[in-house]
Structure 1
Amino acid sequence: MTSSLTWRQLRDLKLDELKDAADGWGAVSRHADAAEERVNGDMNGALSKTQESESADAAVKRLERLSRNFDYIRTECGLLRTAVSGLAAELASPQRRVREALADAAAHAYTVHEDGSIGYPAAGPNELTGRQIAGGRAPGRSGLIGPGAGVHGPGGGAGLLDPAAGYRGPGLISTNPHHGKAQDIADRIARALRDARETDGRYQGVFAKLRAAPGLTVDAGTWADAAADMAAVRKAAGGRIEREIPLDKSPADRKKWWDALTDAQREEYLASYPDVIGNLDGIPALVRDEANRENLQLLIAKLTAEEGEVARARLGGLREIQHQMELNAAVRLSDPREPPMYLLGIADEGTGRAIVAYGNPDTSRNVSAYVPGLGTALDGDFARNDLKRAHDTAVLARKHDPSSTSIVWLGYDPPQLGEVDAETLLSNTEVMSAERAERGAPAYNSFMSGLGAANEHGDPHLTAIGHSYGSRLVGAATQEGGGIPGADDIILLGSPGVGVDRAEDLGVGKEHVFVGAAENDPVSRLPSKKEAVAGAAFMGGGPLLSYLAADVADQGDDDIWFGKDPASEAFGAHRFAVADGPRPFIDGQGPTPAHSNYFNPGKDRESAVNIAAIVSGRSHLVTTEKYR
């Protein structure tokens, strides 16, 4: 938008009032946040817990609508605060420059005209003619060429910047000794005004968007508008905020950066870049959770407007995560022992990203981070099943030590099975390649480093857990420079191999590597590449038949697909006791039923209890079984 700001208006602008207005919008945003928490907790939770009737159900729905309204108010007011604050910050330099130029004009008794030109007085006689040198008027040059080059020219200063720093335009240079100084002052005013107008016009468009109609219903469409508002605020800021985010720094350095910010600066980042702050390793868990809960709404709005099977699957996963968080809040009202949920990461890139913690990883002495494997994506199955695994681990671990947190980390793109079944598993190059594990390992290590950086205990007990293909990622992470940051123990579940042949190569000492491998889990018994060929040839069938023909195809070297079998004596880890699990096909539950039971206390209690003992720092309580 075009700005008509004058030098007088710029000079007289009270930036402190703009800053106060920004603080006011920030206060409204904080009040809305507090009101939302009160509605969800003290009001809605208590009502749901104590009342059962149609009128109570209706009241709950009205409170849920009120909660959504407060959430939207918090977001929009936060954006307004950022926009007003940004406007004030960007106008400060042009205002200072124009005031300095005006002060110089006054010191020389020059006249400042309405258009910003500078009038200067006559001088003494010309040495050549003897005549008095006339006074004059120096028009300001904004540094623009083409249409709108003048301060008040057509287009409001929409011309191009002159690449020639010494550009002076047409005409002769005056011999009046005042001319040079007057011209300098006029140019400074023009350029300060040019910058101020550009800023003013840029933010005018933002403020025009940040309006809501009375009686607005907050739904997916409303959140889509909020996403557009956020994009407009970011564009108006022109990178002023974003470039300060330490994306290329270590998690420890990011923690220091965040700690050094003022409350106002933190609010600005949370309002404008929740998707970045929420996924930034090293930032405190409470902050990431707040940012990601807002970003969750924005992602739901985005995917609601998209078509296709992938978008529907992602949307189902996001909505289920939202549902799980609402259930968690409700359960905690009646049972404070229930571990609270924290959304530590959420995004729709790749196969989807989601990091969910049960317990606060910043305040817990014991923290585990579980990496899921084959076929995992951000969908309804993940939000129900993988979140439950982390939840069950946290609940059982807290029986040993209440200061325990369990996390599910979907921060990479696991191989997708698609239409592949167990018979063609080994022919799927994505599933049977280590490429995705190796690509995801640096992100996992960054996350683990962030857990240590943000934890108030300084050196928490950290456990890395890999299930299925996720164990291959954990193995790859151990081979990165320095290994997995802060890891004290490693748990491998249903592993097809981890890329190394000995537990001691995982960097935590073989006595701190634990393996759960069900006898009837075919993924943990995948043949080596050599065995797969031999078995398939002998049986005349697919890879699953080569697994079933293990006695015939076994080369006797304890190798499976990604290296040495972690459950073998040759590997050297602790093999803890787990149930054998249902047999593939024979027990009527499909090809890999035992592969999914390790965390489930209802289906494999011994395994779940052993996992909890390890992550709570009580590995001496683990029950063991013989090596394969």
Structure 2
Amino acid sequence: MDYATLKALKPSEFTEAADGYRSVSSMADHAYASAEQQITTRLRSGLSGKAVDAAVEQLQLLAKNFHYTQVECGLAATSLNALAASLTTAKSKLDGAVADAEAAKFSVGADGSVSYPPAGEEKDGKLPEGGTVSGSAKGKPSGNVIDPAKDAGDLSAALERQAANIHPNPNFGKAVEIANRIAQAVAEATEADTQWAPKLRKLKADDDFLVSESDWADVAADSGEVRAGAKDYLAHIKPPPPKGSDPELNAEWWKGLSDREREAYITLQPASVGAMNGLPADARDSANRTVLAETHGLYRTELNGIPKEPEPKYHYVQRGRAWMREETDAWSAWNDKHGDRKAHLEDRLFGMETIQKRFDESAERGLPQAYLLGFDAEANNDGRVILANGNPDTADHTAVFVPGTKTTLGSIEDEAAKSDALWRESSAMAPGKSVSTITWFDYDAPNTIVSEATQDKWAQQGAPTLRQFLDGTETAHRSATGDSSHTTLMGHSYGSTLIGDTAKYRSEYADTWDDPLPVDDVVVAGSPGMQADHAADLGFKPKHVWAMEGGGDDNFVTGGGRFAGLGDNWTIPTDESFGANKMRSDSPGHGNFWDEEDGKASLSLRNQAAVIAGRYDQVDLERAAPH
């Protein structure tokens, strides 16, 4: 970029273009929600058959296209805004330099050079002659001492300053300074143009109507490039609080941003925004859906690039008189290089597709809109998934369900199904009230029962994260409604141990030592222990702590926990001495507390749902907590 171009430049044209892309992104976002939720719900509510199934399938594809359009146009808008910000700064510097030149009666040439008139002390009846100078982007018009320790550029600037000081025309030094400022402004504008032009050219879709996995992988790459280039732009926006900060600080920061600034953060930092406790569920969901789509595209593209498994896998070789089946050399070599990675990618992709399936089938399964409040394919070794049925920011009743041992992103389907069952039954028990059930999986769960789940360290490590999420859910609800939701914290198996450690964990941002969990009720099923002798030791009111046990292998888990000491003094929540309400259960095993048969909830499920809905009178108790 040269002086004349920058002089004529109107940065507002870039911001206007950014506003156009932003509008398209916003419209695509609304269309995405309509195609995925509203229209499909109406179709499913009154119609059925192959034609409806085909229509819904096409709507889901259309929704994905709208999502892609939303993200790409958001990147284009943010890129243009970042470019405009850099050009505005450079243009402001140029205009200031030109104004100073005009005030000094200097003239600026078409090439950015500065001409100055004769001035100074007369010699032989003549004023020192005027002249023309060209600036340097490295010019430094202050100071007058040469320092040999400086680099060549600094030495050159110092020589330039000394020349200005001894020049007979006092206008010379001023002209050099202005010319340098002009050159610096042009250099900054050129740098911005060089940085952003190729990025903007890359932000274009294929010339087809199908958004493929490779398209989403490209979005991830585009996001990385735009993010790297927009550091200065984001620096002008109020930076977010440090990771792990008080959710109330996060909420206040978010409220203080304009719509454009919020969209910039969601576009450029979706993973960070999606993980910030205290932010609205809508914002976290939007950010995490982008992370999900980009990650799925990257993983699927990588999986597709793995060479096909050689065939046959086995061959038979003679060993003495016997024929033995052995792996072929080709298959063994392939497996050594690709086997583990292929299995890992398939596991994570299955989990991601489970989440997407929940989005796609909500209308068909009679569930409310889903909100992805947290997602990371690799966090905590096993991945992170926080998936809500219904909006917890506005729900009258909210349940946070914490799964136990062996949970991973790849197995999240089973855990989310439990949350779905809890929503169906609790919603039926709370007519006229809104319910949100949340599957919270954001800790490194033990992978084995005997060697790992008998230790408390996994729960200790996960406690701060769960506490921050609960505080964030409370903050977001109060921000949206001015009040709290009736909240039930639920733990299955080792998840209950995590709840126990969370209750004992004091938030680093708490302003008093009295720091109880922001929950009204606690429900545990198949608990091996909560690291306490009594419910009251955890700061809970015993009458609002509810426990149940099952038959079969549940006895092995609870008994094993008692023996391992996950409950102080070998105490588990269903013991009378623990002081909790013991609910009746018809669960035949450790994983059957959420069973439904022919649309009818089991007794175990009904009891849990009654607590979620605040219908304590409908809980079937084997033993009530002491008052």
> What band does the TM-score fall into relative to the shorter chain?
0.7 to 0.9
The 2-side partners of 1:528 and 1:494 are apart by 10
Query: What is the aligned partner in structure 1 of residue 487 from structure 2?
Result: 462
Letter in 2 for 1:522: N
TM-fit CA distance, 1:328: 0.5
Checking the alignment, whether the CA contact within 8 Å between 1:517 and 1:524 is kept in structure 2 is no
Moved more, 568-577 or 464-473: 568-577
Task: Identify which of 359, 375, 378 aligns with 1:346.
Answer: 375
**Residue identity in the other structure for 2:545:** V
Q: How many residues align?
A: 554
Deviation per CA, 1:473-514: give whole Å up to 9, x if none: 111111111555411221222111111222112112222222
Deviation at 1:217, TM superposition (A): 2.6
Provide the residue aligned with 2:446 in structure 1.
415
CA deviation vs aligned residue, 1:247-272 (integer Å, no higher than 9, x gap): 44321122222223222222222222
Tell me which of 459, 467, 491 is aligned to 1:445. Answer: 467
Query: TM-score, with normalisation over the residues of structure 2?
Result: 0.81
Deviation of residue 234 (structure 1)?
Answer: 0.6
Greater shift after overlay, 29-38 or 452-461?
A: 29-38
Alignment partner for residue 244 of structure 1, among 235, 239, 253? 239
Q: Residues 296 and 329 (structure 1 numbering): CA distance in 2 closer, same or farther, change over 3 Å?
A: farther
Higher mean C-alpha deviation, range 201-210 or range 615-624 = 615-624
Alignment partner, residue 201 of structure 1 = 194
Range moving further from structure 2, 598-607 or 349-358: 598-607
Counterpart position of 2:555: 522
Cα distance in 2 for residues equivalent to 1:382 and 1:452 = 24
Matching residue of 2:33: 37
* Partners of 2:78 and 2:38 in 1: CA distance: 30
Q: Return 602-611 or 73-82, whichever deviates more.
A: 602-611
Measured after TM superposition, the shift of residue 284 of structure 1 is 0.9
Taking the TM superposition and a 5 Å limit, the aligned residue runs for 1:4-15 are 5-15=1-11
CA positional deviation for 1:316: 0.3
Aligned partner of 1:148 in structure 2 is: none
- Equivalences for 1:281-360 in 2 at 5 Å? 281-306=277-302, 307-332=341-366, 338-348=367-377, 349=379, 350-360=381-391
AA of the residue aligned to 1:98: L
Q: Which residue is equivalent to 1:554? A: none
Structure 1 residue aligned with 2:574: 567
What is the CA-CA distance between 1:51 and the residue it aligns to? 5.8
Residue in structure 2 matched with residue 229 of structure 1 by the alignment: 222
1:615 partnered with 2:612: yes
Q: CA offset at residue 169 of structure 1? A: 5.0
Following superposition of structure 1 onto structure 2, how do residues 567-606 of structure 1 map, counting pairs within 5 Å? 567-579=574-586, 581-582=587-588, 594-602=589-597, 605-606=602-603
> Are residues 282 and 39 of structure 1, via their aligned partners in 2, closer, same or farther at CA, if it must alter by over 3 Å?
same
Match of 1:183 among 167, 176, 179: 176
Measured in 1, the distance between the counterparts of 2:566 and 2:119 equals 98
- Once structures 1 and 2 are overlaid, which stretch shifts more, 88-97 or 33-42? 33-42
The answer to whether 1:80 aligns with 2:80 is: no
Secondary structure of the 2:590 match is helix
Farther off after superposition, 288-297 or 200-209: 288-297
Is contact 1:126-1:132 (8 Å) kept? yes
Runs of at least 5 residues in structure 1 that lack an aligned partner in the other structure: 146-159, 333-337, 418-424, 533-557, 583-593
**Given the superposition, is the C-alpha separation of residues 600 and 166 from structure 1 closer, same or farther in structure 2, using an over 3 Å criterion?**
farther
Amino acid at match of 1:208: R
Contact 1:87–1:203, Cα closer than 8 Å, also in 2: yes
**Distance in 1 between residues matched to 2:466 and 2:526, nearest whole Å:** 19
Q: Structure 1 residues 22, 255: closer, same or farther in 2, change over 3 A?
A: same
Q: CA deviation at 1:31?
A: 2.0
Counterpart for residue 497 of structure 1? 529
Rounded Cα–Cα distance in structure 1 between residues aligned with 2:155 and 2:445? 54
CA contact (8 A) 2:521 2:545 kept: yes
RMSD: 2.9
Equivalent of 1:397 in 426, 446, 454: 426
When structure 1 is superposed on structure 2, of 57-66 and 509-518 the one drifting more is 57-66
Distance 1:604 1:63, change over 3 A: closer
Distance 1:518 1:561 in 2: 21
Amino acid in structure 2 at the alignment position of 1:525 = T
Task: Give 5+ residue unaligned stretches, structure 2.
Answer: 141-150, 303-340, 507-513
Tell me whether 1:369 sits opposite 2:400 in the alignment. yes
Q: Structure 1 residues 302 and 247 mapped into 2: Cα distance closer, same or farther (>3 Å)?
A: farther
**Could you tell me which of 500, 507, 511 is aligned with 2:543?**
511
Name the aligned partner's letter for residue 459 of structure 2. A
TM-score, normalization: structure 1?
Answer: 0.81
After TM superposition, the structure 1 = structure 2 runs for residues 102-113 of structure 1, keeping only pairs within 5 Å, are 102-113=98-109
1:213 shift after superposition: 3.2
Residues 370, 331 of structure 1: alpha-carbon distance in 2 compared, 3 angstrom cutoff: closer
List aligned pairs for 1:47-66, cutoff 5 A: 50=47, 52-53=49-50, 60-66=56-62
Superposed CA offset, 1:72-119 (max 9, x none): 212111111111111112222221111011000011111223443322
Counterpart of 1:370 in 2: which secondary structure? strand
CA distance in 2, matches of 1:39, 1:121: 69
Could you say which residue in structure 1 is the equivalent of 2:328?
A: none
Counterpart among 129, 133, 136 of residue 128 in structure 2: 133
The answer on whether the counterparts of 1:118 and 1:138 sit within 8 Å (CA) in structure 2 is yes
Do structure 1's residue 96 and structure 2's residue 92 form an aligned pair? Answer: yes
Residue pairs, 1:253-292, within 5 angstroms: 253-292=249-288
- 1:236 is aligned with what amino acid? G
Distance across 2 between alignment mates of 1:388 and 1:198: 53
**Shift of the alpha carbon at 1:166?**
6.4
Name the CA distance, whole Å, in 2 between partners of 1:207 and 1:476: 49
